[in-house]
Structure 1
Amino acid sequence: MGEQRHGDPGTPGTVERASDDSGKYAIENPGLPPHRPRTTDEDPRVAKRAERQVSFMFILSIVGTIIFFVGYFGVGQLPLDETNMDLIRLQNWLLGLGTAFAMLGIGMGIVQWGRALMPDHEWVEERGEVVTEEDRSDAANMLNDIIDESQIKRRPLLRNTLIGALAIAPLPAIAFLRDLDNTGNQSDDPAQNFGVERMRHTMWDTGTRLVRDVTGTPIKAQDVTIGSALHVVPDGLLDLEHDKLNQKAKAVVLLMRLNPEDMQISDGREDWHVDGIVAYSKICTHVGCPIALYEQHTHHLLCPCHQSTYDLTQECKVVFGPASHPLPQLPITVDSEGYLVAQSDFLEPVGPAYWERDPRPAEERGA
């Protein structure tokens, strides 16, 4: 019982200690590897060539930003619509390439700067709290050392091209943000030009026929079978010459039919369907992706972007995913010829629910 078995941690020498009272370590600190100077450290001509390379990348970033603005303000001022695909493709190419060159130029330039020109010595420095005036002075000296080591003072070409690239690089983002709420259809009422108010109204109106997307064919109730899912737009939308894409983005709906016995209908919506035929906005209430996947057996609608799932039998209630609001329902009925028509516009805003979705009009909410 008293014997110590071979391999017992208590046996002297079995386990190597990291250190002992003498301060010795089992494995000596090998220290930093020897510094190997780069060619840019030894040859001024190579360093100058690296400086020109970095400056070229910063200039490339500036050119990329200019290309972006040519596409955004130059081509964008031409009469763009979905029938002029050549101009749309040209603008997309200019915007994409311009943004890529603007961002990659700065990133690659800074990486090359640090790799070839900035000091690459390794060192370890213990640092304490900055509490005294002497410590603050040391911190200021450290910042000055960093500036000196970056060589930004003695390499004006690098400094000036970097400043130029950084100065105009954010401008494309500012242009995008400026037009996030600009569809070209401004109202005299400022409340109608921003946010939820613009998404409250679409081309749907009382008596507007539901027609198939692309073909524009009107739909009779008898043609919609149980389990089918049709992509539908309001009659007249496909004939628009201007603003067709913006109107379609708000008005497009999914039309489906299910057994009325499977439907859970809330008060006030009893007549919003036609014998189990229902119409819901196709725009996901999370970030606005188009919903196109309908699972007939579960009656679930799935958004392919972030997997938000809506239960059609529960008036498109969210049952999974990041969406926080049900899909807005379009009240429908049939006209005298048996064609499906809208009873009205959507009674709540469509699209992403970044705001509180109060279904009441602005005047009723006191807005």
Structure 2
Amino acid sequence: MSEMPPHPHRRPDEGRWPLSPVLLGVRENGARPASLLLERCFGGDDARWSDALVTRMRRHIGGCVTAVEVALRDQLVLSGEEGRALVAALPEAVGWAALQRRPDLLGGRLIAHFRDRAAVSLMTQEELADGAPGNAEPPESLFPSALARDLASLALAERRWCDDRPDEAPMVADLPAEDMEQLVWTVMALLADAAAPVRAFPLGDMVRLADRAGCAVLARHDEQTAPFVMASLVAHRLRGTGAGEEHLLWLGRHRQVLALLAILADRTGMENAALVGRIVEGPEHLLFQICRAADFPREVAVRLMLGRRGIARGVEDSVLIEYAEGYDRMSREQAALAVAPLGLSLRFREKLSALRNRPPGDDC
């Protein structure tokens, strides 16, 4: 596996930075990242993602938008007579209906977050050939009791993400703080916009009331319940206990996907959410390279790849078998060098990408 087969859509690298757009984390057409995400989720023609991922992604967006809208309406009711009047003036279920018409209001960061959590949920529920039970209780003979409790909590959060109810049914909005802030103000703006034409009371008073309600909902949000955050903490604690192959094999055999991805990020020096995004967007061999750089057993790498197959239309089975068979022939050092750009700062990667894609013959 010292030489991976080239990606079928990769451009020649002669005379350019030998770092692919996937590793740099910057699209070759960098002006349209958010619109490409939207096209894949809301009926566009880009067919890289599977129908299952698009469906699950819409479920996560609709469920979290609905949950946030319920929280905001409840907060307005609690704020007094004016808040109750504002809620009474609102149509039913504003947020998800509006965002289906204007999904661009979510922004690229939120859309990418929902894509990644939907992808993890599909990887988690993927049935493996050996029928291993998913998310079993971690044995305290293998994990310290506090860490076993953390893993059990993380498994519960993963099961919540496997929810396949209708899009508009509420889902726990367990987002990282920055994403939650963006989602709350997006939904609050939609509610205020829907109430404005009714003019139940002066517009200035209405928007100030809405602002206070949004701040109150955000003040109650606990980022520590966000599964990506929980997973990063688990990875940090596992590093402190000297987790070895037997720990990784147990996590792989019980489909503890979030924990495994967080360990990958921790061992390769990446931010967890960024690594998940690269795995979702990147070619199949990238996941094998990251696993090898993190010194994962071959079995765990294969299990992660089997789970990933449900989220993207990728290469043929024969190519995946070739990657798996060559896994141990690629040294950890080679793999670490291959994925090193993943840990670079975003702005640095953007500039390297710009240099890589300059016209041939432009040496300035």
TM-score (norm 1): 0.20
Highest RCO, 1 vs 2 (Cα 8 Å, sep ≥ 6)? 2
More strand by share: 1
Question: Which structure has the greater CA radius of gyration?
Answer: 1
More helix by share: 2
